[in-house]
Amino acid sequence: MYNNINPKYKSFLFFIVKLAIVIGSLYFIYDKVVHNDNIKFSEFIHQIKSILLQKKWTIPILLILSFLNWFFEIKKWKILANTIKKTSFSDATKQSLAALTVSLFTPNRIGDYGAKAVYFSKNKGKIILLNLIGNLNQLTITILFGIVGIIYFISTYEIEINPYRIRRIAYLLAFLLLIFIPNKRRKVKLFSYLKLDKLRDFVKTIILKTHLKIIILSLIRYLIFSHQFYFLLIVFGVDIDYSTLMYLIFTMYFLASFIPSISLFDWAVKGSVAIYIFAFINVSELTIITITLLMWILNFAIPSLVGSLFIINFQKSYK
């Protein structure tokens, strides 16, 4: 039915969808910053004025770190997209930031996958798979550093561990392993049923050098935003040694990565985890909430505003 619609109407409908996404993202960003349940806007502004604006040299450093964070994310996507179609850094920037804008109000940033696929006329399934590969590499780095952080956290602080819950988690993991690690015959049937054979074969065509580049860029990006969080802790007067703060930051990102959320509330999820983690070293809730909200503004809100411009200017052919 959609294919029978006049191209002009399709173009108009697509413009309405783009406009709705942009207006929606702008409203949600405004609402989360100004009308926030966890911190009053006046308190947030007071914190910024009394600390950041008193140390103006910190602002360019924070902006540079956010720029580098997205530079390496875009670079990562460019390398992945090049396996399908020659993609310039400019195009990769548009795709990445527009996808970020769309993902703001979708669970676990699912909108990011579909938004990037829209930019490609063919191989949409492969584009989604490439995006998944990039995200899994980033998650792998988070888990590796997170394990180190968790080991430190549990061994250093008195953490109440419920044996009953641990047992339940172990049973659940064992059950999932039985389902997702079938024998060879069942594996073949599963891939055939889900029509994943071609996608599986496509993954095999990606050379090792490309995989290594992606994992290295994921590592660099992780170190950038984790040190940005560390830098803000120092700026806000947290006087704790470097290694302790980094272990706690690793733990925070590790725990937050396993909590389902909408990108719009990503800062609140990380904030809740961070409040719990940093309470062990007596960092105030106000400081942690301010830092997590500021991190969200720098790395999600501002880039998504740029992405909204790319969405409005994006043209799709209906010929």
pLDDT digits (tens, 9 = 90+) for 158-181: 776 656 655 665 665 565 555 445
Instruction: Give the model confidence (pLDDT) of 263-283 as tens digits.
Output: 445 555 667 888 889 999 999
> If you average pLDDT over residues 20-29, what whole number do you get?
76
CB 116 within 8 A of CB 95: yes
> If you average pLDDT over residues 80-93, what whole number do you get?
93
Rg (CA), the chain: 22
pLDDT at 26: 76
> For residue 317, which amino acid is it?
S
Give phi and psi for 107, each to the nearest 5: -60, 130
pLDDT at 194: 44
> If you average pLDDT over residues 104-121, what whole number do you get?
80
pTM higher than 0.85 for the full model? no
Length of the chain: 319
pLDDT at 93: 96
Q: Which long-range contacts (CB under 8 A, 24 or more apart) does 45-50 make?
A: 47/236, 47/286, 47/287, 47/290, 48/290, 48/294
Give 48 or 265, the one with higher predicted confidence: 48
- Quick one: pLDDT band at residue 8, thresholds 50, 70, 90? low
Q: Burial, 49: exposed, middle or buried (Cβ in 10 Å; 0-12, 13-18, 19+)?
A: exposed
List the chain domain ranges.
Answer: 2-313
Is residue 200 classed as helix, strand or coil in its secondary structure? helix
